[in-house]
Structure 1
Amino acid sequence: MATLNLNIHKVVCVDEIGGEWEEKFGNDEIYLGGVTISSSNIGKVDPFEIYADFDDGEVQEYNPPRVFTHLIYQTMQRGQSMLALYLY
């Protein structure tokens, strides 16, 4: 078996949701979650808050990087492995 960590180094708010007027009075909350699928396991990454007060161009950095998920998978025939990760 082999392992794979998916780490988050930073998250960037490129553009807030809403028009120019709404952006002056509100901020975006960003949550991240996902589903992992490997040859030996299916798992859920529960949503967690990245930052509750994002404005255009703001960055949330993780130092050390935040571990998003840890995958354990088996090597299939001919050395091929199957991994999938879905973010929502």
Structure 2
Amino acid sequence: MLIDIQEARDALRLDGPDNDTIIIPLLESIPSYLEVTTGRTWDTEPVHPLAQTVTKFILQLWYDPEGQDKDRLQRTINNLLTALTAIGRGM
């Protein structure tokens, strides 16, 4: 995974493992999503910090799409994915 469960909980502002059954499958899906959208894998060590950042934003959007400013969050994610794609091409 690109981030661990505690980092995911922190990004979502959640305490404890009550929602881990929802969070873990989302975390497991994000590396494939990043690979499809950027054309590169990002879950190898060391994980690129920008990949970790975009993971947190994607997790926020996927976890609770109605509770967020969805449009602003999607624009942020799109911009980060564009930057990550450019970085991936240069690697």
Normalised-by-shorter TM-score class = under 0.3
TM-score normalised by structure 1 residue count: 0.25
The structure richer in strand per residue is 1
Structure 2 length-normalised TM: 0.25
Considering only CA atoms, is the larger Rg found in Structure 1 or Structure 2? Answer: 1
